[in-house]
A and B are shown apart, each in its own frame.
Chain A
Amino acid sequence: DAGVIQSPRHEVTEMGQEVTLRCKPISGHDYLFWYRQTMMRGLELLIYFNNNVPIDDSGMPEDRFSAKMPNASFSTLKIQPSEPRDSAVYFCASSPGLTYNEQFFGPGTRLTVL
Chain B
Amino acid sequence: AQSVTQLDSQVPVFEEAPVELRCNYSSSVSVYLFWYVQYPNQGLQLLLKYLSGSTLVKGINGFEAEFNKSQTSFHLRKPSVHISDTAEYFCAVSGPPATTFGRGTSLIVHP
Contact = CB atoms under 8 A, between A and B. Distances in A.
A108 B44 CA distance: 9
Contact of B95 (A56, A93, A99): A99
Interface residue range, chain B: 20 to 34
A56 B101 CA distance: 16
A50 to B, nearest CB: 10
B32 A100 contact: yes
Interface stretch (B14-22, B45-53, B67-75): B45-53
Interface string B8-35: 0000000000000000000000001010
Interface of A: 4, 33, 42-43, 45, 48, 55-56, 91, 93, 98-100, 102-103, 105-108
10 contacts: A43-B101, A45-B98, A56-B98, A93-B44, A98-B94, A99-B95, A102-B49, A105-B36, A107-B41, A108-B42
Interface of B: 32, 34, 36, 41-46, 49, 51, 90, 94-99, 101-104
